[in-house]
């Protein structure tokens, strides 16, 4: 006869089998989205100094990376274009060029037929000579002009065969504008996954160095959300749902677990992705070594926590290593 008055939680922690049975949060390769930085080659593969374990890819190296991702069970990749400065101009017109590195990579991956879902990040900072996320007039970002350029860029990505477009510049009206442009162009099956809750964060540093898109004087505070404003982030998620978003991204995930949890609690009706950003990735790799058992354990803990908070998908530079450990 048990006289104890306290609740015995430990009964369900006794063995690996019982712990597996009661596990609340799953983490599998299909939840992970692999970022890929693509450019024109040669060289075909260049390690990115600020993102250890991540390479800048061109040509055949893109297909090799897709094969490596496919082999460990990954189902989706997120493409970032890295352009030579001679292809950039103040209006970012290379974004509408069907021969830009992102469009070429999309065509190549689609011809490669692994069934991999291809998501393309879309922000003008990848294409503008000044590095700002939009067209700049008198030191300010011109929302309407930027939207017009993004609409052309979105149709350009759709023509190349992209599955999902992830607009990351957080201009107002982006989702509605891109949805209309895609539908008008006959691309109603291309999905939109905006960075709806995107905070103006210091944790993007290694990414910016890697993508060669750091503007001198940042205007990010004029379009990204200030870190203390959780209600504003939730409002933006709901605005993007209304405008026709199919999924949303919350970024940085590690400092926005409350946003993921609240959005889920309040019934966010579309899948959410958490972005495990570069400023959290790099120190872990630097201290523990890529794919070491210690690094794997810490990474899986973080990824599980982002899922626990409410993310369906996670964008992470550790996708291949984590998927290998999980499969």
| Sign of the alpha-carbon torsion through 180, 182, 187, 188 | negative
By C-beta, is 41 or 215 nearer to Zn ion?
A: 215
192 touches 164 (CB < 8 A): yes
Residue 108 binding result from ligand PBG, Zn ion, none, given CB thresholds of 5 to 8 Å by partner type:
none
Asked if 128 is part of the footprint of ligand PBG (rule: CB under 6 A), the reply reads no
Burial class (CB in 10 A: 0-12, 13-18, 19+), 158: buried
Stretch that binds ligand PBG, among 2-10, 120-128, 172-180, 263-271 (CB under 6 A): 120-128
Asked if 123 is part of the footprint of Zn ion (rule: CB under 5 A), the reply reads yes
d(CA 45, CA 43): 6
By C-beta, is 32 or 141 nearer to Zn ion?
A: 141
Main-chain dihedrals φ then ψ at residue 69, nearest 5 degrees: -65, -45
The dihedral region occupied by 111, where left means phi > 0, alpha psi between -120 and 50, and beta the remainder, is alpha
Helices then strands, counting H and E runs in the chain, come out as 11, 13
Instruction: Judge if the upstream peptide bond of residue 43 is cis by omega within 30 degrees of 0.
Output: yes
Asked if 141 is part of the footprint of ligand PBG (rule: CB under 6 A), the reply reads no
Residue of 75, 88, 236, 251 with catalytic role: 251
**Lookup: tokens for 159:** 């023509």
d(CA 85, CA 65): 25
Which x/- pattern, by CB under 6 A, does the window 153-172 give for ligand PBG? Answer: ---------------x----
Asked if 121 is part of the footprint of ligand PBG (rule: CB under 6 A), the reply reads yes
251 noted as active-site residue: yes
Among 48, 106, 133, 248, binds Zn ion (CB under 5 A): 133
Asked if 170 is part of the footprint of Zn ion (rule: CB under 5 A), the reply reads no
Which x/- pattern, by CB under 6 A, does the window 62-101 give for ligand PBG? Answer: ----------------------------------------
Stretch that binds ligand PBG, among 10-18, 177-185, 201-209, 285-293 (CB under 6 A): 201-209
Q: Which residues are catalytic?
A: 198, 251
Q: Which residues bind Zn ion (CB under 5 A)?
A: 123, 125, 133, 169
């Amino acid at each position: 006869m048990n006289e104890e008055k306290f609740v015995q939680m430990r009964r369900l922690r006794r063995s690996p089998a019982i712990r597996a049975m009661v596990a609340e949060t799953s983490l599998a390769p299909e939840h992970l989205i692999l970022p890929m930085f693509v450019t024109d080659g040669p060289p075909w593969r260049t390690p990115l100094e600020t993102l250890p374990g991540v390479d800048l890819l061109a040509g055949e190296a893109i297909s090799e990376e897709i094969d490596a991702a496919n082999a460990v069970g990954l189902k989706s990749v997120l493409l970032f274009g890295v352009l030579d400065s001679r292809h950039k101009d103040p209006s970012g017109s290379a974004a509408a060029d069907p021969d830009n590195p992102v469009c070429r990579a999309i065509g190549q991956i689609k011809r490669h037929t692994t069934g991999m879902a291809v998501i393309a990040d879309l922000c003008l900072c990848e294409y503008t000579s000044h590095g700002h996320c939009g067209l700049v007039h008198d030191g300010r970002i011109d929302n309407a002009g930027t939207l017009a350029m993004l609409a052309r860029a979105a149709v350009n990505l759709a023509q190349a065969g992209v599955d999902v477009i992830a607009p990351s510049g957080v201009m107002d009206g982006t989702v509605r504008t891109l949805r209309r442009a895609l539908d008008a162009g006959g691309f109603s099956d291309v999905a939109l996954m905006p960075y709806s809750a995107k905070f103006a964060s210091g944790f993007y540093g290694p990414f910016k160095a890697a993508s060669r898109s750091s503007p001198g004087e940042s205007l990010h505070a004029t379009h990204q959300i200030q870190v203390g404003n959780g209600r504003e982030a939730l409002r933006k998620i709901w605005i993007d749902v209304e405008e026709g978003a199919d999924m949303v991204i919350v970024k940085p995930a590690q400092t926005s677990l409350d946003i993921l949890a609240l959005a889920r609690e309040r019934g966010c009706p579309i899948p959410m992705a958490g972005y495990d950003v570069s400023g959290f990735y790099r120190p872990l790799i630097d201290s523990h070594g890529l794919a070491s058992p210690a690094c794997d354990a810490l990474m899986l803990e973080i990824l599980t926590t982002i899922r626990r908070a409410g993310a369906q998908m996670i964008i992470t530079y550790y996708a291949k290593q984590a998927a290998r450990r999980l499969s």
